Structure 1
């Protein structure tokens, strides 16, 4: 009886996963990215694993490539946006760069997989964030 319940659920989840990652990330259309793993690094110390909320980032970020903007909403409801100053596609990867609150950031999104890496450089502190993006 239990297998009869699990099999349709597994098939449904597999279909959703295929639907979510079908095709490539097209910078002509908006995307949404989930922040999954975060690390905070300072000189002379080991990097510390944290959550997006722990380093004051929203869990999800919407990227509007056409408007050169990234938007996010914190759990508190506070909304933030960042200007994308440069945007390039190279070797199947979308590279975004910007400056916010005196910190520089660079994001890379693999167009085929949606995998994302984001780095933020501050004064004597750096953050590395790994996530995944999908087309909206």
Structure 2
């Protein structure tokens, strides 16, 4: 089952440039985002880079920007929902921010390419992830 989820994510990532080219992402869209690279850094312990499983992050994120929610799915099948507290737009990016289980997070999505970066931090540790988003 794990290999099928990974193959789905890879195929999604490969097809995204063709899906996004038509129209810029905006603050009312519903998106699906796949995380491809991650790192976990701990105070006094350095950083660990690797797969989403290695740092216990979700593989897929489903964003409903109009309702300001993010649903995440981990490789294990565990799902979580987070509220987007702020949506800001710049010329080229959407910037989302929120809080979940004591950690603050921020996500930046390029409106044209769908490229995404996410960071999350709490006491003594921080996560960063990179991936790509497209309309769902």
Range of TM-score over shorter length: 0.7 to 0.9
Per the alignment, residue 52 of structure 1 pairs with 52
- Aligned equivalents of 1:118 and 1:64: distance in 2? 16
Give how far 1:30 is off: 0.2
- Aligned equivalents of 2:37 and 2:20: distance in 1? 19
Q: Which runs of 5+ in 1 are unaligned?
A: 1-15
TM-score by length of 2: 0.82
Q: Is the 8 A contact 2:120 2:127 kept in 1?
A: yes
Give how far 1:17 is off: 5.4
Q: What is the aligned residue count?
A: 121
- Aligned equivalents of 2:19 and 2:71: distance in 1? 20
Per the alignment, residue 10 of structure 1 pairs with none
Per the alignment, residue 127 of structure 1 pairs with 127
Relative to structure 1, is the Cα distance of residues 28 and 68 closer, same or farther in structure 2, using a 3 angstrom cutoff? same
- Aligned equivalents of 2:16 and 2:69: distance in 1? 27
Per the alignment, residue 19 of structure 1 pairs with 18
Indicate the SS of the match to 2:46. Answer: coil
Give how far 1:90 is off: 1.2
Per the alignment, residue 61 of structure 2 pairs with 61
Larger mean CA deviation between 83-92 and 99-108 belongs to 83-92
Structure 1 segments (4+ residues) deviating >4 Å: none
- Aligned equivalents of 2:38 and 2:112: distance in 1? 22
Q: Is the 8 A contact 1:26 1:135 kept in 2?
A: no
Larger mean CA deviation between 51-60 and 34-43 belongs to 51-60
Higher Cα Rg, which structure: 1
TM-score by length of 1: 0.82
Per the alignment, residue 28 of structure 1 pairs with 28
1:68-87 matches, cutoff 5 A: 68-87=68-87
CA RMSD of aligned residues (A): 1.5
Give how far 1:120 is off: 0.5
